[in-house]
């Protein structure tokens, strides 16, 4: 707050973007890991424009780890790997901006990042200034090691980069990747625009790595290999923290990576959107199946994600059955009242799901008036009733209802 006041009094722009709705974009990591380069970024930007992603609202192209040389230059600045980025990052940012999109980059709050490329610890101001001079619009900031263990808490190391970004006076969206270890939902709103609430996702709908913990607060060290269903499970404790300017990030999506059925990909997208996670595509957008493109660009789902109220859906225990059905609900924008309800079958057999509307907390704000109901994925109207009966919900499928005051 002290920093904020000082900056405002001086009449300068804040570096922090403070996104009113969750950011939307693409990141290289899930599909390409360290194999990033200039043509991949250019081809992705082209596919964004050609395949309808830009039109749907996706605008950030994010280069994840692997862009750097293994050492800093003699003057201490970061250098892009010249074999991967022959024209340099500034020229690439220029190209991406001319295509109507924004460019993001990756660094780390340690001495090294997770692949032993240089981190920004101790170089925060130099790196932030360099990113700003290149025309960078977004920084993902990771939490790998090499720093003097236990001498500085993550919150302190991440704050140092926030100060450095603010000093650049460029709007650089600051996305923390602290893996949820120190419960960033309690402090990240003071520092960043979004924060990862868990260890890494991996390409599986329901299968976790053995060490993964399934709730938001468990203190074990298993930090990667989280399935889509477990990421959703962890949000039961966190959905109430979601608010404009500080988004819990459920990690890059696995839609389009050929590991899920169509209904599982719909479920993945439904929850990332309704839980107000940043929507960062983690697949090859130039080659992914059209069915995945259609899911990622579904206008009704994106309207739920980008709804101006910025309130995430909450888990409804009374309507859910552990390991079989989960029902979540939450309000959409005020004015004309709207509300969304998600019903997921994660049991073993096709099932019907009944939603007595009086049992959905908050829904009466819409249903005590004249209203309509629509199911998003089938794009069909559902007739209003005191109990909405969803028939034939497939294994892994989520039905998304939108209730709207007429
Ligand atoms: C760029 O990266 C992509 C994805 O990893 C790879 O398929 C392609 O061969 C690379 N191109 C160059 C010129 O290195
Ligand atoms: C994409 O299409 C291929 C070829 O038809 C198919 O094998 C694959 O399962 C599809 N992937 C998804 C995610 O639908
Ligand atoms: C689903 O199948 C698994 C494996 O066969 C079993 O352990 C589990 O109890 C089943 N769940 C339900 C809800 O029937
Ligand atoms: C409401 O649901 C009941 C029971 O499923 C059904 O008999 C009735 O026709 C429904 N009413 C409307 C208006 O759809």
pLDDT digits (tens, 9 = 90+) for 149-159: 556 788 899 99
- Evaluate whether residue 17 is within a structural domain: no
d(CA 29, CA 65): 7
Quote the tokens at residue 118. 């240089």
- Same domain, yes or no: 282 and 319: no
For residue 395, which ligand has an atom nearest its CA?
Answer: 3
Q: How does the average pLDDT of the chain come out, rounded?
A: 93
Strand 173-176 to strand 138-142: parallel, antiparallel, or no bridges (unpaired)? parallel
Domain assignment present for 66: yes
Look up the domain containing 343 and give its range: 314-405
pLDDT level of residue 221 (50, 70, 90 thresholds): low
Query: What pLDDT is recorded for position 132?
Result: 98
The answer on 335 and 268 residing in a single domain is no
Domain boundary residue, one of 285, 305, 325? 305
CA-nearest residue for atom 8, ligand 1, is: 40
Residues 326, 297 share a domain? no
User: Best mutation site among 30, 204, 254, 258 for ligand 2, i.e. most ligand atoms within 8 A of its Cβ?
Assistant: 258
Q: Which residues contact 278 (CB under 8 A, 6 or more apart)?
A: 22, 23, 24, 25, 175, 194, 247, 249, 250
Q: Whose CA is nearest to atom 6 of ligand 2?
A: 258
In a domain, 11, yes or no: no
Asked whether residue 116 is domain-assigned, the answer is yes
Question: Are 140 and 268 contained in the same domain?
Answer: yes
The answer on 333 and 283 residing in a single domain is: no
The domain boundary residue, chosen from 305, 334, 349 = 305
The CATH code of the domain that includes 336 is: 2.60.40.1180
Q: Is residue 49 part of a domain?
A: yes
Q: Which tokens go with 364?
A: 């009466």
pLDDT of residue 181: 85
Give residue ranges with CB within 6 A of ligand 1: 32, 35, 37, 39-40
Rounded CA separation 47/269 (Å): 20
Residues 247 and 145 grouped into a single domain: yes
**Which ligand 4 atom minimizes the distance to the CA of 386?**
1
Which pLDDT score is estimated for 222?
Answer: 57
* 352 close to ligand 4 (CB < 6 Angstrom): no
- 80 and 219 share a domain? yes
Among 305, 323, 346, the domain-final residue is: 305
Mean per-residue pLDDT, 369-386: 96
With respect to residue 16, please indicate whether it lies within any of the assigned structural domains: no
Quick check: is 42 in a domain? yes
Say if residue 16's pLDDT is above 70: no
Tell me, yes or no, whether 247 and 124 share the same domain.
yes
Percent of the chain with pLDDT over 90: 87
Q: Are residues 56 and 88 in the same domain?
A: yes
Residue 271 lies in a domain: yes
Q: Which band of pLDDT confidence, cut at 50, 70 and 90, is reported for residue 14?
A: very low
Tokens 């460019």 sit on residue: 103
> Using a 6 Å CB cutoff, which residues line ligand 2?
258, 262, 289, 291-292
Active-site residues, by number, are 142, 200
Q: What is the pTM of this model?
A: 0.93
Same structural domain for residues 96 and 155?
yes
Total residue count of the chain as it appears in this document: 406
Please, which pLDDT band fits residue 218 given cuts at 50, 70 and 90? confident
User: How many domains is the chain built from?
Assistant: 2
Shared-domain flag, residues 165 and 207:
yes
Per-residue 3-state assignment (H helix, E strand, C coil) for the chain: CHHHHHHHHCCCCCCCCCCCCCCEEEECHHHHCCCCCHHHHHHHHHHHHHCCHHHHCCCEEECCCCCECCCCCCCCCCCECCCCCCCHHHHHHHHHHHCCCEEEEEEECCCECCCCCECCCCCHHHHHHHHHHHCCCEEEEECCCCCCCCCCCHHHHHHHHHHHHHHHCCCCEEEECCCCCCCHHHCHHHCCCEEECCCEECCCCCCCCCCCCCCCCCCCCCCEEECHHHHHHHCCCCHHHCECCEEEECCCECCCCCCCCHHHHHHHHHHHHHCCCCEEECCCCCCCCHHHHHHHCCHHHHHHHCCCCCCCCEECHHHCECCCEEEEEEECCCCCCEEEEEEEECCCCCEEEEEEHHHCCCCHHHHCCCEEEEECCCCEEECCCCEEEEEEECCCCEEEEEEEEC
- Does 394 lie in the same domain as 327? yes
């Amino acid at each position: 707050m002290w920093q904020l006041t000082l900056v405002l009094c001086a009449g300068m722009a804040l570096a922090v973007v403070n996104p009113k709705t969750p950011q939307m974009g693409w990141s290289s990591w899930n599909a390409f890991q360290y194999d990033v380069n200039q043509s991949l970024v250019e081809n992705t930007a082209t596919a964004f424009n050609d395949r309808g992603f830009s039109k749907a609202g996706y605008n950030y192209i994010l280069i994840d780890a692997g862009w750097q040389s293994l050492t800093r230059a003699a003057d201490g600045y970061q250098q892009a790997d010249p074999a991967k980025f022959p024209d340099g990052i500034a020229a690439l940012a220029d190209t991406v901006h001319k295509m109507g999109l924004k460019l993001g980059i990756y660094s780390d709050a340690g001495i090294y990042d997770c692949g032993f490329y240089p981190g920004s610890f101790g170089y925060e101001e130099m790196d932030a200034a360099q990113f700003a001079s290149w025309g960078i619009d977004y920084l993902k900031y990771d939490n790998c090691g090499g720093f003097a263990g236990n001498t500085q808490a993550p919150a302190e190391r991440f704050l140092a980069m926030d100060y450095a970004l603010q000093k650049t006076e460029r709007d650089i969206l600051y996305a923390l990747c602290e893996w949820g270890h120190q419960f960033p939902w309690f402090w990240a709103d003071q520092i960043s625009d979004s924060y990862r609430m868990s260890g890494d996702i991996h390409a599986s709908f329901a299968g976790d790595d053995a060490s993964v913990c399934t709730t938001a607060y468990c203190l074990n060290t298993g930090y990667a290999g989280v399935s889509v269903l477990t990421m959703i499970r962890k949000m039961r404790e966190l959905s109430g923290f979601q608010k404009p300017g500080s988004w819990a990030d459920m990690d890059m999506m696995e839609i389009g990576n050929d590991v899920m059925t169509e209904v599982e990909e719909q479920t993945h997208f439904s929850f990332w959107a309704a839980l107000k996670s940043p929507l960062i595509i983690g697949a090859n957008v130039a080659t992914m199946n059209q069915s995945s493109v259609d899911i990622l660009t579904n206008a009704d789902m994106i309207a739920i994600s980008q709804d101006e109220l910025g309130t995430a859906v909450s888990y409804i225990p009374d309507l859910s059955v552990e390991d079989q059905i989960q029902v979540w609900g939450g309000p959409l924008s005020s004015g004309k009242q709207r509300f969304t309800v998600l019903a997921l079958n994660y049991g073993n057999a096709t099932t019907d799901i009944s939603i007595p509307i009086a049992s959905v907390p908050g829904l009466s704000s819409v249903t005590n008036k004249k209203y309509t109901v629509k199911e998003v994925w089938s794009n069909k109207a559902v007739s209003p009733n005191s109990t909405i009966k969803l028939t034939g919900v497939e294994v892994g499928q989520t039905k998304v209802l939108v209730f709207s005051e007429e």
